[in-house]
Amino acid sequence: MKKHYSLLLLTCLAAGLPVAGQAQVTLSGPVTLYIAPGSLMTVPSSLTVGTGAILTNEGLLDFGGDLINNGIVTAPVAPAAMLRAVGTAGPQTVTGTAALPVQNLTVNNTAGVTINTNLSVSGTITLTNGLVSVGTGTPLVLLPTATNPVETATAHLVGPVTMAARVVNGTTFGPFLGLSMPAGASVANLTVTRVTGPTAITSAAGNTSAAVYWDVATTAAGAPTRVMNFSWLGVLDNGRDMAQATPWRSTTLFTNWTRTAGPTANAAATDPRQYAPSGAVAEAVAGRFTLADPNAPLPVELTAFSVRRQGPDARLDWNTASEKNNAYFDVERSRDGLVFERTGQVVGQGNSSTPRNYFFIDPKVVQFGVPTLYYRLRQVDVDGMASYSPVRTVAVESTTALLVSAWPNPSTGAGPHIRVEQPFDGPLTAILIDATGRRLTEYHTTNRLSEELFRTEISALPSGVYLLSVTTPGTSRTLRLMRN
């Protein structure tokens, strides 16, 4: 028989007896609450796990108010262990200073639930009623054993949700969080973060995307390509014409976008929307992807931007696939990757549907007295609206050094932009290590230049100190990374 506890005040549960209820429960001090497999505990209002308290839920825990975890919630091992938000008196909030691991999560509250803590799920999320709003700085993490959430227009996840790294290699992937890929080139370990809602809308040049985007990262060497298919709820269309759904792709700072290899296709016939056109072409897996339509293109399509030494100077080269109301490019330089100053200006083409090539020479860069210089482009429209390119670096002191840079550092949110450059193509390994010496993830390549390393993985890390160790057959570098 299932044991049921209606609990409102707890000092201990050693006797296994029901405790008469009151409106709010607080576990404080050196106390452990253990809910056994097959048992059900109901907390009608708010539940607080205070500092020094331990909650172990191997059964079912229902709560009708807020859940605040400042103590320790142990990771469940029972497959049926479940946390259920079942409030009826208004919105609920899950928050606190400590991580909250759960096996299964059910949300049944028409007023919705807000998650503002590091919550991870290893089993199933059941969305019965209400929206689940996830804080931008605390993405909901679906561990490698978690299943794909089933969402509807009235019960879905809003904000960032991350699929922790999974071994995919060359096999078929998904659908998971609206991304699927037929079998193809090996992507090794794959990490996906999907963001929905108002913060997911890309706005540029007066146009906007659908209210969804996907950040995709891979640990595979090189730049593996796959056919990319997407699905999303119709409530996220944001007024875009999804009978002409057009996928767009961006990298690094996500201010410049290009049409993907996937063609314009009709995704409006079903809800959830389905973008999976026949005959789609494979494209680079890593990057950020969103949907718009041909009548609402995203910004100037910057297809390439590089910086290299040319004798005593630095030479910047960039290309655009098309331009809309493009007045000019400001070329900006920085000595530390944080503070930039304008060093020159190049006139744009205004409106153009054909590729354009640009270059700029920054003379005698040794005069700035730093080993590395940072460059970016500030693209300005005729109406004064501006957007920024990715940051590029160039070595000043040597053309034979192994260069490792991260900016900004310390970092918050999406994490630093990490760039590794070796003097020539060859084996290179980058390892991300926490303060205890534990290896968090690895990257292997033979490319001379690697950018945006571990961006998705670092964005999910808590505050603290981490080390980036980069080695080649003859050289090694270690960079200290700070997360605030």
What is the band of 416 on the pLDDT scale with cuts at 50, 70, 90?
Answer: confident
Per-residue pLDDT tens over the stretch 254-299: 556 777 877 889 999 999 999 999 878 888 899 899 998 876 555 5
- Is residue 246 scored above 80 in pLDDT? yes
The reported pLDDT for the residue numbered 397 is 58
What is the band of 313 on the pLDDT scale with cuts at 50, 70, 90?
Answer: confident
Per-residue pLDDT tens over the stretch 150-191: 999 999 999 999 999 999 999 999 999 999 999 999 999 999
Q: Is omega for the bond preceding 182 within 30 degrees of 0, making it cis? A: no
- Is residue 22 scored above 60 in pLDDT? no
348 vs 123, more confident: 123
- Is residue 91 scored above 90 in pLDDT? yes
The reported pLDDT for the residue numbered 18 is 37
- Is residue 110 scored above 50 in pLDDT? yes
Nearest-Å Rg of the Cα atoms of the chain is 25
The reported pLDDT for the residue numbered 256 is 62
- Cβ neighbours, 10 Å, residue 171: 12
| Distance, CA of 433 to CA of 91 (rounded, Å) | 39
- Is residue 49 scored above 90 in pLDDT? yes
Helix (H, G, I), strand (E, B) or coil at 243: helix
| Distance, CA of 435 to CA of 465 (rounded, Å) | 6
Cα 324 to chain center, whole Å?
A: 29
* Angstrom distances, CA of residue 159 to CA of 92, 119, 282, 328, 388: 16, 13, 28, 34, 24
What is the band of 364 on the pLDDT scale with cuts at 50, 70, 90?
Answer: confident
Q: Amino acid letter at 156?
A: H
317 vs 17, more confident: 317
Q: Is omega for the bond preceding 18 within 30 degrees of 0, making it cis? A: no
The reported pLDDT for the residue numbered 112 is 94
pTM of the model: 0.63
Report the length, in residues, of the chain: 484
What is the band of 455 on the pLDDT scale with cuts at 50, 70, 90?
Answer: confident
Q: Residue 176: beta bridge partners? A: 179
What is the band of 407 on the pLDDT scale with cuts at 50, 70, 90?
Answer: confident
Pairing of strands 179-181, 229-232: antiparallel
Residues 6+ apart with CB under 8 A from 481: 406, 409, 410, 411, 416, 458, 465, 466, 467, 468
DSSP 39-96: -EEEESS-EEE-TT-EEEESSEEEESS-EEESSEEPPP-STT-EEEE---SS-EEEE-
DSSP 444-465: EE--SEEESTTHHHHHTPPSEE
